[in-house]
Amino acid sequence: MSNTSMVEISRQQLYDEIWKISVAGVAKKYNLHYAKLLESLKAYDIPYPSSGYWARAACGKDVSAERMPLTQNDLENVYLYPADYSFSQRKKQENSVVFDAPAAVLPFLEEEERGRVINELKKIQVKPNAKIHPVLAAYKKSIEAWKQRQKNDAYIKRGRYDYYRGQKIEPPVFVSEVSGAGLKRVIAILNTLYKIIERLGGDVRPDLSMKIRKDVVSVRFSEGQDKKLHELTKQEARMLLEYKEKVKSQEYASKPQVKKYDYYYNGKLRIKFSNGKYIRDNEQEKIEDRIDEIILELYGISEECRIEREKREEEHRKYLEEQHRKKEFAERSEIEKEKTQALINEAKDYQIASEIRNYVSALKESRHSDEIETEWFQWAEKKADWIDPTISLEDPWLGKRNHGADNVFFRQLP
């Protein structure tokens, strides 16, 4: 194997051997770059055991339940970095993976979309004097406005709260993290990124973030600083001299606070992603030479965002379904209560009607029957028919009875 070649191995074989001899064991067996191997396992969605797994196995404990299954994937073979991987080999190795084995890059994309991304990566050029993106043009104007306001406003100069506007004054993004020269580089890098993202169907937002596919991603820039021993200014030297004179005269004096070091920007930029990863200038390459890596990382973050977003959407969907189910259950339960109560009321009406008929029958057979007019018996029997839900006779004075309502007989009357 040459220094610049990638190590090719089947995804299934890599999974089997990792669970058999560990990640470190596989790295040693195939002479692989350990840190890059861990990154590749995550990229290729290959689960691997924790360090505690091997400790428990060494103690003779059953760890078979801890083995995570290998998920389904269209990739058969994966490409891994050798142990002698170096920055000088980065482009040749990664271009080999991107252009010769594109399925290993952005595996979550459909083949057509992945092809469009790879084609854009082949054409990357950072042009400092290129026509600037409208969002960046507006950003530059905001910086100029900030500088002018800083020049005119004593509150901003002293980093104070703006009492007139009732808000804390904040500089435009990146201005406090990079030098003037660094800011020019940042704008050129973003200008290149924005144009590529838009050609791939994404959007650029006024807050400098980007929408890739359906999710918003953003980056932060900062510039490294070096330090050197602070050189006293004339004013600081005079203040220290006055302090020493007062001490000699045994007068009370507060020692001036003089910083020990001066910090200055060193021109080394760093771009940081929302997932904590970053890319920075080094002796071999600048960030401008690694736009392809930035694009790939942003797409990876967008995929992570998609997964999280869909997870939240699914949880919200389930929540709404559960709320709808509870609402339907409550409504149906209320209907059942009303129907059941109506049934009970109707049964009571039937029971009362039967009792009235029994009472009328008993009166007819009693010794007092001759004292009761025949019309009363007819009237009472009709009232029983009015109360009885199986007959529900309409009464000329009471109308039709609502048998399902409670059995307070005359509440329905005006």
Q: What is the pLDDT of residue 352?
A: 95
Q: What is the pLDDT of residue 285?
A: 83
Separation between Cα atoms, residue 280 and residue 262, nearest integer Å: 23
Q: Which of 57, 52, 43 is closest to 14 using CA atoms?
A: 43
Q: What is the pLDDT of residue 85?
A: 61
User: Is 37 part of any domain?
Assistant: yes
Q: 167 forms bridges with which residues in the sheet?
A: 162
Q: 349 forms bridges with which residues in the sheet?
A: none
Q: 272 forms bridges with which residues in the sheet?
A: 220, 278
User: Is 210 part of any domain?
Assistant: no
User: Is 130 part of any domain?
Assistant: no
User: Is 411 part of any domain?
Assistant: no
Separation between Cα atoms, residue 297 and residue 305, nearest integer Å: 12
pTM of the predicted model, to two decimals?
0.61
Contact between residue 405 and residue 411 where contact means Cβ atoms under 8 Å apart: yes
User: Is 286 part of any domain?
Assistant: no
User: Is 326 part of any domain?
Assistant: no
Q: What is the pLDDT of residue 237?
A: 87
CA distances from 222 to 128, 135, 183, 226 (A): 19, 20, 9, 13
Q: What is the pLDDT of residue 253?
A: 80
User: Is 16 part of any domain?
Assistant: yes
User: Is 165 part of any domain?
Assistant: no
Q: What is the pLDDT of residue 413?
A: 46
Contact between residue 118 and residue 99 where contact means Cβ atoms under 8 Å apart: yes
Q: Which of 265, 174, 185 is closest to 218 using CA atoms?
A: 174
Q: Which domain holds residue 96?
A: 1-103
Report residue 60 CA to chain centroid gap: 41
Q: What is the pLDDT of residue 410?
A: 65
Contact between residue 133 and residue 195 where contact means Cβ atoms under 8 Å apart: yes
The backbone torsions φ and ψ at residue 217, rounded to the nearest 5 degrees and listed phi first, read: -125, 155
Counting the structural domains of the chain, the total is 1
pLDDT per residue of the chain (414 residues) written in tens, 0 to 9: 333 478 889 999 999 999 998 888 898 899 888 878 888 888 888 999 886 787 677 667 788 888 899 988 878 888 888 877 654 455 555 554 454 445 557 888 888 898 888 888 888 888 878 899 999 999 999 999 888 887 776 555 555 455 445 556 678 999 999 999 999 999 999 999 999 999 999 999 999 999 999 999 999 999 999 989 988 888 988 888 888 888 888 788 888 888 888 889 999 999 999 988 899 998 878 899 888 889 989 999 999 999 999 999 999 999 999 999 999 999 999 999 999 999 999 999 999 999 999 999 999 899 878 888 889 999 999 999 999 999 999 999 989 999 988 777 665 544
Q: Which of 188, 185, 209 is closest to 268 using CA atoms?
A: 185
User: Roughly what angle, to the nearest 10 degrees, separates helices 180-199 and 291-365?
Assistant: 60
- For residue 350, give the 3-state DSSP assignment: helix
